[in-house]
Amino acid sequence: MFSLASELSNVSRALLMSQYVCEESQLNCTIRSFPVAIAAIFTTCLFSSLSTPFWSLEGEIRGRKYALIVATLGTAFVNILFAVISTGSRFEGPAPILIIGGLALEGLLGGTATFRAALNAYAADVAPAGTWSTSFSVLQGVFVVCSVLGSSIGFGLNLFGPFLGFAVGAGVAAINLVYLVFFLPESLPEEFELDRPSKLQLSDFKSSISSMFAALSGDRMSLLVLAFFVYSLTLSANFIRHPFALSQTDTASSIPFVVTSYLSEMLAFFALFPGIVYILKRRTPLSMAISTKHYLASVTTIDVSASRLFAFTDLANQLLVLLISASPSLAFFFVALMVPLTSGLKPAFQALIAAFSESRTTRSRRGVLFGALSVVELIGQTFSHVIYRLTSRHGVSPKAGFGVTASLLGIVAIILSLWPTSPRSGPGDLPRDHERIRIVVSEAPAEQNADATLSPVYRRHGVVEGSTETL
């Protein structure tokens, strides 16, 4: 519902920018590279990048629900603020300042980056590491569905009122707040509340920044983060896909193209990527793991294979588009169908980095890690927005953006090819007694098996209600 609330107000936000910020600042709003939109994006990026590590660290201390609630509260408040600005003539003078201030406030309360980081950490808490890639893929599919529904409803609301999306978005965010506060269970174990401080401290902000850099430190981790950042520079490629495909033919309309693109993305996240991960798991059975370390190494191998597959497939599609003829059918097929089908690289990357981070530390701080990844993605996507806006300007070759995408994906593919495909083994890999994985089958309730010697990964996630505690 958070994504739905954000998407509902996107159309109204664009109109608000055009009506108040453009007119009050007397800037030319007809230019496609209009600087106010870029300024708004960079404002949100700046403040979200500073606040996301803080709220993610607080989520480790106070619970995942805390970070989710803060981000949702920020979205609801900003929608209410924009609704008030748009309906009152007395705000016409200070409207530009209030709008930029509202965007800054939304960023300080985390925004989308904090919410998605906390949601990914929540998903990692309630599922074993072997299913993280599938869980993240399903979440991405849900985001696509919310984007489609939110944009469609937002355009429909625009017919009744240009700023009605703010009120509806605030209402959806309020409903989401009620659900988060009263109905969503906390994913962290109860022990996390023992050392919880009574109030926020200014020193927590400094420690959150250092924790973010610590989560991304290390030679191999830095290599993965670099590849993820380069990939995030391609996330705004939709700016070039639509004009390219629709300019190749007069028969293709925008509606079938957009519908086909979104349906193919949903197919990729809900079916194609989980199916490929399932096949890779059959080749590397996780049930054969003899220790937590071995299990996480096997998960990393699976995620590396999935990341490579989607990276090279996406790169091949970009090159095919560059070499394609002017045939309308081929252009429509590759751009509308084949390119979105390679969207599984993002959840594969997230699962790979999370599993590798889990394997190299005894004290996992997933919230901090996912918060750091959200910051990396947010910065990359912000620059991606600027890059693809420039390549889609009038006078630039329609295939220039695909050349940029192919170059960036080539770098990602090279980095992933350097990653070892099989886990390293050595004398230190032999499991100790407390690390050894055991399968406990009992007719007694699962709570009575709490003292069994199990891997920490499965002790947290492997309880089957009723009678069995297993992998």
- Output the domain CATH number for residue 337: 1.20.1250.20
**What does the block give as tokens for 434?**
């407390």
Give the confidence band of 362 by pLDDT, cuts at 50, 70, 90: low
| Structure confidence at residue 332 (pLDDT) | 73
Co-location of 321 and 219 in the same domain:
yes
Q: Are 66 and 423 in contact (CB under 8 A)?
A: no
Co-location of 309 and 409 in the same domain:
yes
Co-location of 376 and 411 in the same domain:
yes
For the chain, the residue count is 471
Judge whether 162 lies within some domain: yes
| Structure confidence at residue 228 (pLDDT) | 94
Report in angstroms the alpha-carbon separations of 151 from 6, 215, 372: 9, 35, 28
Residue 417: pLDDT over 70? yes
| Structure confidence at residue 191 (pLDDT) | 54
| Structure confidence at residue 331 (pLDDT) | 72
Give whichever of 195-199, 337-341, 435-439 has the largest mean pLDDT.
Answer: 337-341
Q: Are strands 463-464 and 440-441 parallel, antiparallel or unpaired?
A: unpaired
Residue 120: pLDDT over 90? yes
Q: Are 286 and 298 in contact (CB under 8 A)?
A: yes
Residue 435: pLDDT over 60? no
* Max Cα–Cα distance, the chain, nearest Å: 75
Residue 465 is part of which domain span? 436-469
Give the confidence band of 296 by pLDDT, cuts at 50, 70, 90: confident
Average pLDDT, the chain: 77
Give the confidence band of 432 by pLDDT, cuts at 50, 70, 90: very low
Residue 233: pLDDT over 70? yes
Judge whether 367 lies within some domain: yes
Judge whether 453 lies within some domain: yes
**What does the block give as tokens for 310?**
């989607």
| Structure confidence at residue 193 (pLDDT) | 53
- How far is Cα of residue 105 from the mean position of the Cα atoms in its chain? 21
Residue 225: pLDDT over 60? yes
Residue 140: pLDDT over 70? yes
Report in angstroms the alpha-carbon separations of 103 from 109, 116, 172, 433, 467: 10, 18, 19, 53, 51
DSSP bridge partners of 468: 441, 464
Co-location of 33 and 106 in the same domain:
yes
Co-location of 440 and 340 in the same domain:
no
Among residues 344, 168, 118, 155, the alpha carbon closest in space to that of 258 is found at 155
